[in-house]
Structure 1
Amino acid sequence: MDGKLLARLAAVIFVAVALTATAVEMARDEEPVVPASSVRAAEDAALSPLRAELTRCQEMGEAAARNPACLSAWAEHRRRFLGLEAGSSARRCDASVTPATEVR
């Protein structure tokens, strides 16, 4: 067999396989995909108002760093994660750390 004929035959087979795969994929009846973030946000709101607030802050992006509601939600989440009491502050944990000496 000639090399050019073999290359053409391979190209025709490749195109036939690609067209068949496309036809099969287009023939599928799929239900519409709901974005995972909206499903997760709805579940979070039902489970915990704090989790819903954290999700909202996450979706805000960089602006959340200046949002007082997000800052307090993060502080509450940090408090729960570290197992601190409601009146305690996370800064108390840092009291044992001595400041670094100044480099001159």
Structure 2
Amino acid sequence: MDGKMLARMGAIMFVAVAITAAAIEMIRNERAFPTSPMGLQQPERDPLREGQRRCQQLGQKAAEDSECLRVWAETRNRFLGRTPPPTSPSPGEGR
């Protein structure tokens, strides 16, 4: 066999492997995702998300809104995995 023939056979083998890998990946993706939207579930109502949307709609005014500041603090704590700071005990507690 000469060099040209070996190069052609190598190219054909490469293309065949690439096509096979693409076909396998396409089949795998079809199995991973349900085709009907019936399989998707709506998440439970999240008051934090609703607060974020409200603050987003306020725009620049949200920087002065105490509720938005609270929502942003809670979002930051949730993202960073922090536990919320303990609330101060009421006057009747701790005696």
TM-score range, shorter chain: 0.3 to 0.5
* Length-normalised TM-score, structure 1: 0.40
When the two structures are superposed, what TM-score results if normalisation uses the length of structure 2? 0.43
Higher relative contact order (CA 8 A, sep 6+): 2
